[in-house]
Amino acid sequence: MSLSKMLNRVANEMAFERGKPFSNSDFGNFVRRDLVQEAKRHLSFWPFDLELKASVGNGQWAAVPWLAFFDPLITTTATKGFYVVYLINAQDNSIFLSMNQGTTAVYEEFGRRRGREVMKRRSIDMSDRVADLIQSFSRDPIDLGSTEDLPAGYEAGHAFGKRYASSMLSEDECLTDLREILHIYEVLVNRGGLTPSDVMASEVQGQTIEETRKLVLSQRIERSSKVRRAVLAVKPPKCEACGLMPEIDYSFDGRPEQIPLDVHHSKPLFELAEGEAKRYRVPEDFLVLCPSCHRMIHKMDNPSDLGALKRKIRFKHMREVY
Ligand SMILES: [Zn+2]
Ligand SMILES: [Zn+2]
């Protein structure tokens, strides 16, 4: 079954399936497994890392089933960050493709009523940041046919997207729109996501907004726990500049992912045009550095030049003997 047919099926059958028991539901398995697999199949050559997840509820039926696409640099869960998602209105069987936000984390911080106001504001920021790219999508509010808290959050968190009336989603339109909105998602990530411009400027000092955005993205890549784990899994636990080995030099014996070493994204993003190919490769684009060497390399003219950093190092370690 094609992706559009599957989505139409979810939209058409959800209201009926909700009347049946939740556990071991064939319909639930179809959404969680088959729908995700089919969507993945269309993205196997997608140049960016994406994680897919679908849900019809957790322990009980949700009002709004969804299929979400996460950039792991931003989030791997629907509860926080921002992501692309199909949302189903089970009342009128319509489907929404939406650039949306995690609701739960915002509710926890601000409460429900105020949280929705916060999300509405953020959704305007998101749309404005990619305003030049969203002509084929609509910024109009969406109606998910439910007054429950989560759907109300999805409605508030919706930035831009498209509505498909019951059974009107064709395969062509489905795949074209999906690829386009995923491309915009990546551009939004590249442009700083939901981070306000003044915060980006204070985090990194780029000459231009483009440079600031690339520095922020580079930092996001370095701080991603997924990237860090992947790099440390294949590189030795040793600073590549000064040779510090926390396991020997500090008798560090904690869990490998807690070792006091950083991963440094040494391939500058400056060479990449916006939205071009892969943003990083593990491990080729990374250096393992101790926190001091990491700070130092970022202060150098060329933060990729490991040799230059190594030539600067002149400290001597003298163990005092009492
Ligand atoms: Zn070092
Ligand atoms: Zn770095």
Ligand nearest to the CA of 218: 2
Tokens standing for residue 199: 């915060």
Measure CA of the first residue to CA of the last residue in the chain; give whole Å. 76
Q: How many angstroms separate the alpha carbon of residue 278 from the centre of ligand 2? A: 18
Question: From ligand 2's centre to the CA of 309, what distance in Å?
Answer: 13
One-letter amino acid at 265 equals H
Per-residue pLDDT of 16-37, as tens digits, reads: 999 999 999 999 999 999 999 9
Ligand minimally distant from the alpha carbon of residue 264: 2
**Mean pLDDT score of the chain, rounded to an integer?**
91
The tokens for 21 are: 């028991």
Ligand 1: distance of its center to the CA of 238 in Å? 8
Kindly report the CATH number that applies to the domain delimited by 3-190. Answer: 3.30.920.90
d(CA 317, CA 313): 12
pLDDT per residue as tens digits for the range 262-303: 999 988 665 566 555 568 888 999 999 999 999 999 999 898
Segment 52-73 shows an average pLDDT of 95
- Ligand 1 centroid – CA 254 distance (Å): 19
Q: Report the pLDDT value the prediction gives residue 141, as an integer from 0 to 100.
A: 96
Mean pLDDT score, 183-200 = 90
- The amino acid sitting at 118 is V
**Ligand 2 centroid – CA 205 distance (Å):** 14
**Distance of CA 237 from the midpoint of ligand 1 (Å):** 11
Domain ranges of the chain: 3-190, 223-312
- pLDDT for 196-239, tens place per residue? 888 888 888 778 888 888 888 888 999 998 899 999 999 999 99
Amino acid at 243: G
CA of 248 to the centre of ligand 1 (A): 14
| Residue 160, SS3 per DSSP | strand
